[in-house]
Structure 1
Amino acid sequence: MTIFRWQNCHADVATAMHGISVQSFLDDVIVPSIQVLEEKMHILSRSDEPAAAFALSDAGDVLRETKMAFGLSIQSIWERQLRGYLRGCAAALRPHEGLAAQAEKGNWRRLRELFLELRGIGLEAFPSFSELDKLHLLGNACRHGDGPSATELARHCPELWPDYLLAPANANQVTATAPPVELMDIPLDRLRLFCAAIVTFWDDAEYIYNESIERKHPSLEARLAQERTQRSWWPAAASDEVVR
């Protein structure tokens, strides 16, 4: 198999901490915050105070809104990272074509087109794309509320509406009406999956960057030789990706 390579630029180097930043946000901010709220709900659920039931309901609403806010934050971090990367690639590789400005203002579809144009491989080729595409829908739903993105998100991730989509009489019957965003309850494990997708994407991008270095140090050659035997994904040398 011919190893895929792209033209390296400084933008590749600038992404070195992207995955680490996202993982730190998950481990140091998201998880502890959710655990604090869950512990508060646990204490309230065991309380004999008359007002505890009302406080428990309010705490549940706060927890649900907090997880939605974190979902939006994760998507915003990812989008800023991707836009910055594409701006850097455009400035270095095709500086006089206005692509950097498009990277700043383009929608999700245009960003995917730009990635293919600038890197020679589509975002869709990356194993993490499916989760990143869902993350885009989640960000839109959390930011704008009910609408096309929320409807599509419900089709792909019905588990985000556990109390709405499953009819009490038949747990296998899904309601036909699109669920309201205000009832969305994002599991912590789903937030973990979104963060893992971002980390995996930047790890894969780093792998391509390392393979694309023309004069490799022997230590890098040795590391890549081992990594090739361990990786579950190798990008093809030629991409026929079609942007959806």
Structure 2
Amino acid sequence: MLKKDEFVILNIWEESRAQLIERLDFYHEQAKRRVLEQFRDIEGEAERYAEESYDRRGQWFNPDTDDPASSAEAAWDDGVMHYGLLEDLRKQMILSIAAGMYHEWDKQFRDWLDRELGHNFSLDKLRTDLWKQDVGTLFDMLEMWGWDLRAQPFHEIIDSCRLIVNVYKHGHGPSLSQLKEKYPQYLRSSGSRTSFGSSYLHYNQLEVEEDALSLFHEAFGDFWKYVPSRTVVRKNTTLPAWFEKALTRKPRPKEPPTARKSS
């Protein structure tokens, strides 16, 4: 029962919670089945490609001048190259799925905050600022209201996925340095050294295996399972500085319509 100076600032219905988790489950399951299943036998595909390459070369083979071993070796090289291209594509698909999974969760999260905060605050003023804050800032806000997000096991996994997606999208930048510092398991060692002897960090060292997708998927689901059914705060509760600034910002005056010139 609420006290006189309390109100519900956030609420989630159990049916809504289940639907959000179901959407994440669907994305994860279908992405693996419809995309990654196509890469289960790339070794076999590479071997068949090498055989086809050998057969093609055989059409122009001249036993008087050509070396059979050279044709076989060239066909083998073709198969190795084909395998490498397929493996690179598989890794790109894994990163694409991780990015899609993260963005799906991120939009779900902001949509939910948007709806719930709209019950008590003016979204005409708040919405733009709410959607442009980074996830860490939104987590700070929720912790001000009693959540204990960063102590949950899923937090570091979601954070690592965020950095991975940023590196995948932008390449070099702060996220790459943070990923190396916090979650180096997602960066393979390049072995390259600068003239000063330190390791050279490059975004193409990013490497995420398929097992990580299940880890990310579980973390996003655990986030929604953690969300309290009701978040209760006092009526004089502290709001983040950006939140208060958005609520007190005066709306821009509407410009008068310009007269249309007659042709």
Q: Is 2:85 aligned against 1:83?
A: no
| Contact map agreement 2:167 2:173 (CA 8 A) in 1 | yes
Aligned partner of 1:157 in structure 2 is 183
In structure 2, do the counterparts of structure 1 residues 146 and 29 end up closer, same or farther at CA, with 3 Å as the change threshold? same
Give the distance between the partners of 1:56 and 1:34, measured in 2 at CA: 15
Give the distance between the partners of 2:9 and 2:160, measured in 1 at CA: 28
Aligned partner of 1:61 in structure 2 is 88
In structure 2, do the counterparts of structure 1 residues 96 and 52 end up closer, same or farther at CA, with 3 Å as the change threshold? closer
| Contact map agreement 1:161 1:185 (CA 8 A) in 2 | yes
Aligned partner of 2:97 in structure 1 is 70
Give the distance between the partners of 2:102 and 2:123, measured in 1 at CA: 30
* Cα deviation digits, residues 167-216 of structure 1 (max 9, x gap): 6xxxxxxx9535322232211111111110000111122xx31xx49xxx
Q: Which runs of 4+ in 1 moved over 4 A?
A: 8-13
| Contact map agreement 1:141 1:149 (CA 8 A) in 2 | yes
| Contact map agreement 2:114 2:123 (CA 8 A) in 1 | no
Q: Is 2:161 aligned against 1:139?
A: no
Aligned partner of 1:21 in structure 2 is 23
Give the structure-2-normalised TM-score. Answer: 0.64
Aligned partner of 2:223 in structure 1 is 201
Question: Which of residues 155, 168, 171 in structure 2 aligns to 1:129?
Answer: 155
Aligned partner of 2:207 in structure 1 is 185
| Contact map agreement 1:90 1:100 (CA 8 A) in 2 | no
Which structure 2 segments of 5+ residues have no match? Answer: 1-6, 52-74, 192-196, 232-263
AA aligned to 1:185 is E
Question: CA-atom RMSD, angstroms?
Answer: 3.0
* Cα deviation digits, residues 36-57 of structure 1 (max 9, x gap): 2132x12134444312222111
Bigger radius of gyration: 2
Aligned-partner SS, 2:172: coil
In structure 2, do the counterparts of structure 1 residues 203 and 109 end up closer, same or farther at CA, with 3 Å as the change threshold? closer
In structure 2, do the counterparts of structure 1 residues 54 and 134 end up closer, same or farther at CA, with 3 Å as the change threshold? same
Deviation, 1:151, is 1.8
In structure 2, do the counterparts of structure 1 residues 57 and 127 end up closer, same or farther at CA, with 3 Å as the change threshold? closer
Deviation, 1:136, is 1.5
* Cα deviation digits, residues 74-114 of structure 1 (max 9, x gap): 11111111111111221123337944332211122322233
My pick for the range that moved more, 125-134 or 135-144, is 125-134
AA aligned to 2:86 is A
Give the distance between the partners of 1:155 and 1:29, measured in 2 at CA: 30
Question: Which of residues 139, 151, 154 in structure 2 aligns to 1:112?
Answer: 139
Which structure 1 segments of 5+ residues have no match? Answer: 1-5, 168-174, 214-244
In structure 2, do the counterparts of structure 1 residues 62 and 21 end up closer, same or farther at CA, with 3 Å as the change threshold? same
Give the distance between the partners of 1:202 and 1:29, measured in 2 at CA: 21
Give the distance between the partners of 1:122 and 1:97, measured in 2 at CA: 29
Aligned partner of 1:233 in structure 2 is none
Percent identity of equivalent pairs: 16
Aligned partner of 2:43 in structure 1 is 42
Aligned partner of 1:7 in structure 2 is 8
Give the structure-1-normalised TM-score. Answer: 0.68
Larger fraction in strand: 2
Deviation, 1:58, is 0.8
AA aligned to 1:179 is L
| Contact map agreement 1:154 1:178 (CA 8 A) in 2 | no
Q: When the two structures are aligned, how many residues end up with a matched partner? A: 195
